[in-house]
Structure 1
Amino acid sequence: MPRMSKKRKLEWQLFLNHRNRMTYNSLCRKCVHGCKQSFRAVVMDCPRYYSKRAKRNHK
């Protein structure tokens, strides 16, 4: 795996773990959308996340 440049490291610093690897939030890991959040962030509400236990409105 190629090394990250200093500029890219600074840009993605919020997503890098202690091994300098890109890490996403557990809710965002398997999500297909591009709005992924850092593992350091606490996800309060994601408009594209639907829980299997959530009650859906059927029209």
Structure 2
Amino acid sequence: MPRMSKKHKLEWQLFLNHRNRMTYNSLCRKCVHGCKQSFRAVVMDCPNFQSKRSKEARL
């Protein structure tokens, strides 16, 4: 994996873990959409995600 420049590191700081690797939220990892969120995000609002436990999905 090539190294990131300082500018690139500052730009993606929210997504970098302690090993300087890009890390996404656990719900976003297998998602095909481009709206990926950081692993640091606590609240996630994704219009493309629909939980299997939600009441709307059962209808």
In the superposition, the TM-score normalised over structure 1's length comes to: 0.85
Cα distance, 1:15 vs. partner? 0.2
Alignment gaps of 5+ in structure 1: none
Q: Which runs of at least 4 in structure 1 moved beyond 6 Å after TM superposition? A: none
Aligned length: 58
Give the CA RMSD over aligned residues.
Answer: 1.5
* TM alignment of 1:3-42, pairs within 5 A: 3-42=3-42
Q: Which has the higher helix share?
A: 2
Unpaired runs of 5+ residues, structure 2, are: none
- 1:57 shift after superposition: 7.0
Superposition TM-score, scaled by structure 2 size = 0.85
Identity %: 84
Letter in 2 for 1:9: K
Displacement of 1:50: 1.0
